[in-house]
Amino acid sequence: MAQTAQGTPAASAQGSPSTENFPAGTPVIVEGTPALGGSPMPGGSPPPPGTPVGAMVGTPAALPSPADNTAAFPAAVPFDAVPMGFYTDTTVCIGCKACEVACKEWNGLSSYNGGVNLLSGDSYDNTRRLDGEHWRHVKFIEQFDDTSQGRQGRWLMMSDVCKHCVHAGCMEVCPTGAIIRTEFDTVVIQSDVCNGCRACIGACPFGVIEINPTNKTAMKCTLCYDRMQAGLTPACAQACPTASIQFGAIDDLKRSAQQRLEQLQGLGETRAQLYGADDKIVGGLNSFYLLVDEPEVYGLPAAPKLPSRNVPTGGLMSTAGAVAMGVLGLVGLRKRRMDQFAAERAGAEDGTTRRDEEVTGD
């Protein structure tokens, strides 16, 4: 009987593939070992003992040797420089928080309070909110009627993240230029340029940005800019088990979201709506959502405002204030001059009176 390079007997003449044509080092299935993850061969039965892994359906003919491991990792192909982002379908989110964990692991974010986190008492939401340590936050909304028999209701879950606004309020107010827009139309904070002034925190209408307690600078989701530059999917979308978080070109995501919206509405979900997919919300969001209730239920503002909305009013008020100050200054200057003229006139009249008295001898 023929032997493979590992010394395992080749399959006998019972229909099993021969191992003689596979390179040295090719693993084989031995007696009692399930096929790769327990996957059966075509026909529903597992492959017989002695079948090389390379001969199984869906596996490579031969695994690369350690000396040739580049074959297992093809060169990364960067994404085209087009608007990229997230489309989050909240209807298929299961609240597993895999996105939160993947985000923290990839970006090396510290744990809150050293990992000793008290329970919030707000359903299963112990992250509580987005901040400098939590760039992803899975929200849990319980909608149950405790008064009815059987406790009827539903769960709403949503993985929240920075919206990477087309018109970003944080960029409007940053005094150092630390906040930039990338070639993928995403918004990134450069920690080495940030001075920690906190202006962006108040300017964000979604409450996304906060100071990271470790480096004392403002931090938020970068949409895994480093991974995107290497042609890789962001960590959170890669980890999502239900494809609730979808990543790709914004135009493609909008088409997919519209199809899903029409499907839900066709099934009778009249409350289904897209949030941030058009330009009505701060020019559009590069991380938009499919919701099945009003935005406020998910903690999203129905009509977020940008700091620049105050510029016209602020400009008019500043102009009016400057004019008022100028008028008051002119009035004060005129009064001062009038007082000086009055004093000079009084002094002149007093001198004339004294001369007249000297002439008359009084």
Q: Indicate the domain borders of the chain.
A: 1-64, 84-309
* pLDDT single digits (tens) 39-82: 344 344 455 555 444 344 444 444 455 455 555 556 667 788 99
CB 305 within 8 A of CB 283: no
Residue 203: what pLDDT? Answer: 95
Give me the numbers of helices (H) and strands (E) for the chain, helices first please.
Answer: 7, 10
Q: How many CB atoms lie within 10 A of CB 103?
A: 23
CA distance 219 to 229: 19
pLDDT of residue 10 exceeding 90: no
Q: What is the CA radius of gyration of the chain?
A: 36
Q: 72 or 124: which carries more pLDDT confidence? A: 124
* Token output for 111: 């744990």
Count Cα neighbours of 89 within 13 Å in the Cβ-side half-sphere. Answer: 21
DSSP secondary structure letter of residue 111? P
Q: How many CB atoms lie within 10 A of CB 303?
A: 9
pLDDT more than 70, % of the chain: 72
Whole-number Cα distances in Å, 261 to 86, 267, 286, 325: 16, 10, 18, 56
**259: helix, strand or coil:** helix
Residue 232: what pLDDT? Answer: 95
Q: What is the mean pLDDT of residues 33-44?
A: 40
Q: What is the mean pLDDT of residues 130-155?
A: 86
Strand residue runs (E) in the chain: 84-89, 137-144, 153-160, 179-181, 187-189, 210-211, 218-219, 245-249, 273-275, 287-291
- Identity of residue 205: P
CB 221 within 8 A of CB 162: yes
CB 259 within 8 A of CB 120: no
Residue 29: what pLDDT? Answer: 41
Residue 83: what pLDDT? Answer: 96
- What are the start-end ranges of the H helices in 116-196? 169-173
**266: helix, strand or coil:** helix
Q: How many CB atoms lie within 10 A of CB 56?
A: 19
Whole-model pTM: value is 0.67
Give buried/exposed letters for 253-263 (b at 16+ CB in 10 A, else e).
bbeebeebbee
Q: 53 or 312: which carries more pLDDT confidence? A: 312
**143: helix, strand or coil:** strand
Average pLDDT across the chain, whole number: 80
pLDDT of residue 358 exceeding 70: no
Listed in sequence order, the residues at least 6 apart from 123 whose beta carbon sits closer than 8 Å to its beta carbon are 140, 141, 142
Q: Which CATH number fits domain 84-309: 3.30.470.20, 3.30.1490.190, 3.30.70.3190, 3.30.70.20?
A: 3.30.70.20
Pairing of strands 287-291, 273-275: antiparallel
Pairing of strands 84-89, 287-291: parallel
- Beta partners for 185? none
CA distance 329 to 131: 48
Residue 342: what pLDDT? Answer: 80
* pLDDT single digits (tens) 257-284: 999 999 999 999 999 999 999 999 999 9
Q: Is 136 exposed, middle or buried (0-12, 13-18, 19+ CB in 10 A)?
A: buried
- What are the start-end ranges of the H helices in the chain? 98-107, 169-173, 199-203, 225-229, 235-239, 250-266, 311-360
